[in-house]
């Protein structure tokens, strides 16, 4: 069975106000195909390969720690989101939002630190917002506001810039776009460009491919969401629960929180039992979609896109189509 979902975002995030995607279901197995609208068919084909991948990894841990994701909201709202996070002790805070000022980021980080207390971890994500020179100036200010950053995720656009920045600041850096959007994700290792790797299942073409890249990079690894429904998030949870222990721990030995607790950013999920954290952790629990619905125009657009990308990639969707 193939269906399309649509949900508004609770807060504008990554420049979007709604999230859409396709759910493919075969028996009890449900998958998600949800590349962002601006992605071309070549890149979207990775997302479809991930959706139809016939692979379930060996699970070696039954729960995983997760961070709460804080959009570019007010300091007051950021404080409340930490308290409503289901016990998360790590927060990932969006910074560098177009139209906002550095003071907004500083206030948000101070509020998150206050809500977490001194023992919590704070990481920031700038989504390639700055030049190297801007990052050198801004990152120490954000580090102070946060009372110490665990890392700054992709503050600059390219891997070469990330490597250059890493030699100019003492704050640990994490590679995201330099892995999932790069023709050569292993350049992050060759250039010694990052301290952490951000790994996402759909953009990398599935759990097998994501595992190979994580292992080849050999960096402390954080498995993160591509802003999916619980169906897509479950594949990330499976990956996080299957990686070797040395990949998912910081140098301190502490298990790194994954960026997979993002259902709270959606107005509604495709299931009445979404993947939300308890005690700051997600369980390895398969999802049964029960609420797949979208306006007719949205559904038509996504089904057309699905067919086009499948033809482009040579992927047979017949096993996922409902048969009489």
**What one-character DSSP code corresponds to residue 250?**
-
The Cα 166–Cα 24 span in angstroms is 41
CA angle 71, 75, 79 (to 5 degrees): 80
Which residue bears the tokens 């498995």? 223
Whether the CB-CB separation of 70 and 93 falls below 8 Å is answered with yes
| C-alpha 186: how far from chain center | 19
**What one-character DSSP code corresponds to residue 319?**
G
Strand (E) or helix (H) holding 279: none
Strand (E) or helix (H) holding 162: helix 159-166
Count the residues in the chain.
324
Beta bridge partners of 6: 20
The Cα 312–Cα 236 span in angstroms is 25
Catalytic positions: 94, 200
């Amino acid at each position: 069975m193939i269906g399309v979902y649509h949900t508004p975002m609770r807060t504008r995030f990554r420049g979007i106000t709604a999230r859409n995607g396709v759910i493919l279901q075969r028996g009890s197995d449900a998958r998600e195909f949800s590349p962002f609208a601006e992605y071309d068919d070549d890149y979207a084909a990775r997302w479809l390969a991930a959706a139809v991948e016939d692979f379930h990894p060996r699970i070696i841990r039954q729960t995983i720690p997760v961070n709460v994701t804080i959009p570019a909201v007010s300091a007051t709202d950021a404080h409340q989101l930490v308290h409503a996070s289901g016990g998360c002790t790590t927060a990932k805070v969006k910074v560098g939002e177009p139209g906002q000022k550095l003071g907004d980021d500083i206030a948000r980080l101070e509020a998150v630190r206050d809500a977490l207390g001194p023992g919590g971890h704070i990481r920031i994500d700038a989504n390639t917002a700055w030049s190297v020179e801007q990052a050198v100036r801004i990152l120490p200010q954000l580090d102070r506001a946060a009372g110490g950053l665990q890392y700054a995720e992709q503050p600059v656009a390219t891997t070469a810039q990330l490597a250059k920045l890493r030699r100019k600041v003492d704050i640990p850096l994490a590679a995201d776009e330099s892995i999932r959007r790069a023709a050569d994700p292993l350049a992050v290792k060759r250039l010694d460009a990052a301290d952490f790797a951000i790994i996402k299942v759909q953009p990398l073409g599935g759990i097998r491919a994501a595992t190979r890249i994580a292992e080849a990079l050999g960096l402390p690894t954080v498995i993160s969401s591509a802003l999916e429904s619980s169906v897509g998030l479950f594949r990330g949870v499976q990956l996080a629960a299957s990686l070797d222990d040395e990949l998912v721990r910081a140098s301190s030995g502490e298990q790194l929180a994954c960026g997979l607790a993002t259902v709270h950013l959606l107005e509604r999920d495709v299931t009445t039992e979404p993947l939300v954290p308890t005690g700051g952790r997600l369980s390895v629990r398969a999802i049964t979609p029960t609420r797949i619905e979208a306006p007719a125009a949205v559904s038509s657009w996504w089904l057309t896109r699905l067919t086009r990308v499948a033809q482009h990639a040579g992927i047979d969707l017949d096993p996922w189509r409902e048969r009489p």
